[in-house]
Amino acid sequence: MSAPEEARAAVLARIRGALGIAKLDRARRAAVARRLERHPRGTIPAQAVLGPAACASRLAEMLTKQGAEVARAATPEDTINAIASYLASNNLPPRLRMGADPRLAALPWKAAWDISRAFGPAEPSDKACLSYALVAAAETGTLFLVSGADNPTTLNFLPEFHMVLVKASDIVGFYEEAWDRLRGIYDERTLPRTVNMISGPSRTADIEQTIVKGAHGPRRLYVVIQG
Partner 1 sequence: MAEATLSFKKAAANALADGELQRALQNIKTGFVAKRAAAKTKLPEFDALRTEARAIKDHTLTHLDLYLEAYESKVVESGGQVHFAPTAADARDIVLKLCRERGAKLVAKGKSMVSEEIGLNAHLEAAGIEVVETDLGEYIVQLKGETPSHIIAPAIHLNKEAVAAYFRRAHKGRLTSRRLSDVKDLVAEARAVLREKFLAAGVGITGANLLIAETGSSVIVTNEGNGDLTSTLPRTHIVIASIEKIVPTLEDACTILRLLSRSATGQDITTYTTFTTGPRREGDPDGPTAYHVVLLDNGRSDMLGGIFQDMLRCIRCGACLNHCPVYGTIGGHAYGSVYPGPMGAVLTPALQGLDHARDLPNASSLCGRCEEVCPMSIPLPAMLRAWREHEFAQGTRSWSERLALKVWAFVAKRPRLYHALAGLGVPLLRRLAGGRGRFTWLPFGTSWTRVRDLPAPEGRTFQQLYARRSREIANERP
201 binds partner 1 (CB under 8 A): yes
205 binds partner 1 (CB under 8 A): yes
Select from 161, 162, 109, 111 the least CA-distant residue to 133.
162
Side chain identity, residue 116: S
Q: Among 1, 2, 26, 46, which residue sits at the site for partner 1 (rule: CB under 8 A)?
A: 46
In whole angstroms, how close is the CB of 31 to partner 1 at the nearest point? 7
Q: Among 41, 61, 118, 185, which residue sits at the site for partner 1 (rule: CB under 8 A)?
A: 41
SS3 93: coil
**CB closer to partner 1 out of 114 and 188:** 188
In whole angstroms, how close is the CB of 113 to partner 1 at the nearest point? 26
SS3 172: strand
CA separation for the pair 45, 174 (Å, rounded): 8
Q: How many CB atoms lie within 10 A of CB 110?
A: 9
Q: Among 52, 93, 108, 120, which residue sits at the site for partner 1 (rule: CB under 8 A)?
A: 120
**CB closer to partner 1 out of 110 and 124:** 124
Interface positions, 141-200, toward partner 1 (CB under 8 A): 142, 147-149, 152-154, 156-158, 174-176, 179, 189-200
Show the binding pattern over residues 17-36: x = contacts partner 1 (CB under 8 A), - = does not. Answer: xxxxx------xx-xx--xx
SS3 42: coil
Q: Which stretch binds partner 1 (CB under 8 A): 40-48, 82-90, 109-117, 125-133?
A: 40-48
Which residues have CB under 8 Å from 10's CB, separation 6+?
A: none
Interface positions, 55-94, toward partner 1 (CB under 8 A): 62, 66
Site size for partner 1 (CB under 8 A) = 79
**CB closer to partner 1 out of 47 and 75:** 47
Which residues have CB under 8 Å from 143's CB, separation 6+?
A: 133, 136, 164, 166, 196, 197, 198, 199, 223
For the chain, what is the largest distance between any 2 Cα atoms, rounded to a whole number of angstroms? Answer: 72
